Amino acid sequence: MTISKAFLQTFILALFITIAGILGSAIGLFLKYQEYSMPLLSAIFFMLSYWLFYKIILRRKPEFNDISFLKINHLHIFPIIITAIGLKLFEQPIYDLLRPLIVSDEFKNVIQNTQFRNRELTFTFVFNAISALIIAPIFEELFFRKYLLNHLLLKNTVRNSIVISSICFSLLHLPNYLNLIPTFLMGLILGCIMTKTKNTSLCVLFHFTFNLIVTLLKLYGKHLYENLHNFNYNKIYWLLCLLGIVFIWLGLKSLLKQKLNRTV
Mind listing the pLDDT tens digit of every residue in the chain (264 residues)? 999 999 999 999 999 999 999 999 899 888 887 778 888 899 999 999 999 999 999 999 999 998 988 878 888 999 999 999 999 999 988 888 887 777 666 555 655 556 556 777 888 888 889 999 999 999 999 999 999 999 999 999 999 999 999 999 999 998 888 899 999 999 999 999 999 989 999 999 999 999 999 999 888 877 777 777 777 788 888 999 999 999 999 999 998 886 544 443
The 8-class DSSP code of residue 122 comes to -
Per-residue confidence (pLDDT) for residue 181, from 0 to 100: 93
Q: What angle do CA 161, 203, 96 make, to 5 degrees?
A: 80
Q: What are the distances in angstroms from CA 213 to CA 29, 66, 121, 206, 236?
A: 32, 25, 16, 11, 21
Q: What are the distances in angstroms from CA 91 to CA 3, 60, 172, 200, 240?
A: 27, 35, 18, 24, 10
Rg over alpha carbons for the chain, rounded to the nearest Å, is: 19
Per-residue confidence (pLDDT) for residue 121, from 0 to 100: 80
Q: What are the distances in angstroms from CA 171 to CA 7, 126, 146?
A: 9, 26, 18
Per-residue confidence (pLDDT) for residue 263, from 0 to 100: 41
CA 173 to chain centre: 9
Q: What are the distances in angstroms from CA 9 to CA 15, 131, 143, 171?
A: 10, 23, 10, 12
Q: Tell me if 252 sits within 8 A of 82, measured CB to CB.
A: no
Residues 6+ apart with CB under 8 A from 39: 123, 124, 127, 128, 131
Per-residue confidence (pLDDT) for residue 71, from 0 to 100: 77
> How far apart (Å, rounded) are the C-alpha atoms in residues 26 and 23?
5
Model-level pTM?
A: 0.89
Per-residue confidence (pLDDT) for residue 111, from 0 to 100: 57
